Chains A and B, each alone.
Chain A
Amino acid sequence: DAGITQSPRYKITETGRQVTLMCHQTWSHSYMFWYRQDLGHGLRLIYYSAAADITDKGEVPDGYVVSRSKTENFPLTLESATRSQTSVYFCASSTSRWVSDTQYFGPGTRLTVL
């Protein structure tokens, strides 16, 4: 049972380049989320998706684009990477929108923008 996977696990890129981080889940969960983790901030929500073709902004969406053409995939694209986007990115999924539901996290992608 693969669960939720992210690729690549590590990425180094340069300022101004486009970068896409992949997220894949095998549970057919409806909801998927992208977070970034920075020192002193915990995790902050970038974008979320309630189902295929339904996405919306979270707390820190600027500079990011998402899509969700299939339930199992939720790629995150940095259209023109900036140094401030150096971070660890986590994808998560859950079955429902209820406050008591559990979000399951992927292993993360460590992105460095030079």
Chain B
Amino acid sequence: AQSVTQLDSHVSVSEGTPVLLRCNYSSSYSPSLFWYVQHPNKGLQLLLKYTSAATLVKGINGFEAEFKKSETSFHLTKPSAHMSDAAEYFCVVSDMGSGFQKLVFGTGTRLLVSP
């Protein structure tokens, strides 16, 4: 079975400094991986996804993630944090359920951005 582990429940950065949110996955075959963001009291928005094309994936709002098969990792990065980046981030692996796409969510990382 597929699974994801988000290594930090909370990450705190200062505005203008780099962001690193860590995610490791477990998969028996080449997975599809996603990062979603959830702002307070909002739904989930897709940031980016990896689907076995380029290993460096660029997403919205300056975020990117690199798929590293040897390390089974899919860490999310951004060169310079903005106050509006404060939110909860979910790493997600996609699996084939019984005839449907099953998403397996990590437990989330809350990003705090201070001025």
Interface, chain A (partner B; CB < 8 A): 31, 40-45, 48, 50, 56, 58, 90, 92, 94, 96-108
Contact residues in A for B43 (Cβ distance below 8 Å)? 90, 105-108
Q: Determine if A101 and B101 form an interchain contact, defined as CB atoms under 8 angstroms apart.
A: yes
Known: A31-B100, A56-B98, A97-B100. A41 touches B46 (CB 8 A): no
Interface, chain B (partner A; CB < 8 A): 31-32, 34, 36, 41-46, 49, 51-52, 90, 94-103, 105-108
A-B contacts, CB under 8 A, total: 63
Contact residues in B for A90 (Cβ distance below 8 Å)? 43-44
Q: Which of B36, B44, B49 has the most CB of A within 10 A?
A: B44
Contact residues in B for A42 (Cβ distance below 8 Å)? 90, 105-108
Contact residues in A for B32 (Cβ distance below 8 Å)? 99-100
Shortest B4–chain A CB gap in Å is 8
Q: Determine if B107 and A99 form an interchain contact, defined as CB atoms under 8 angstroms apart.
A: no
Q: How far is the CA of A107 from the CA of B42 in the complex (A)?
A: 5
Shortest B78–chain A CB gap in Å is 21
Q: Determine if B94 and A100 form an interchain contact, defined as CB atoms under 8 angstroms apart.
A: yes
Shortest B93–chain A CB gap in Å is 9
The contact sample of 22 A-B pairs, CB cut-off 8 A, is A31-B100, A41-B107, A42-B105, A42-B106, A43-B90, A43-B105, A45-B102, A48-B97, A56-B98, A56-B100, A58-B102, A90-B44, A96-B101, A99-B95, A99-B96, A100-B94, A101-B94, A101-B101, A102-B46, A105-B36, A105-B43, A105-B45
Q: Determine if B44 and A45 form an interchain contact, defined as CB atoms under 8 angstroms apart.
A: no
Q: How far is the CA of A100 from the CA of B46 in the complex (A)?
A: 13
Q: Determine if A100 and B100 form an interchain contact, defined as CB atoms under 8 angstroms apart.
A: no
Contact residues in A for B105 (Cβ distance below 8 Å)? 42-44
Q: Determine if A99 and B49 form an interchain contact, defined as CB atoms under 8 angstroms apart.
A: no
Contact residues in A for B108 (Cβ distance below 8 Å)? 42
